[in-house]
Amino acid sequence: MLSSLATSLTSQLPPVIPGVGGALITGFQVIATLTSFSAETNPQTTSQYSKFAPEESKATKMIASRDGMTLIYLPAFIVSSTLYCLAEVTDISFLPEHTLAGQFVIVHFLKRLLEVLFLHKYSGKVSQNLSLGIGFYYALSSALICSVALPAELGSTATTVGSALFLIGQGGNLYHHYLLSKLRDTKKTDEKYVAPKGGLFGFVATPHYLFELIGWLGIAAVAQQLNVFLVFTSMSSYLTGRAVSQNAWNRSKFSVGDWPASRKNIVPFMF
Report the alpha-carbon distance of residue 185 to residue 198 in Å, rounded: 15
What HEC string does 33-90 produce? HHHHHHHHHCCCCCCCCHHHCCCCECCECEEEHHHHHHHHHHHHHHHHHHHHHHHHHC
Alpha-carbon distance of 235 to 37, in angstroms, equals 9
Could you tell me how far CA 245 lies from the centroid of its own chain?
16
The predicted model scores a pTM of 0.91
Say if residue 65's pLDDT is above 50.
yes
Specify the pLDDT at position 270. Answer: 94
CA atoms within 13 A on the CB side of 231: 30
Interatomic CA distance for residues 3 and 269, integer angstroms: 42
pLDDT at 7 over 60: no
What's residue 9's pLDDT? 44
| Higher-scoring residue by pLDDT: 183, 110 | 110
At residue 187, does pLDDT exceed 80? Answer: no
- Beta-ladder partners of 135: none
Q: Residue 239: which of 261, 260, 214 has the closest Cα? A: 214
Closest CA to 246 of 195, 188, 174, 170: 195
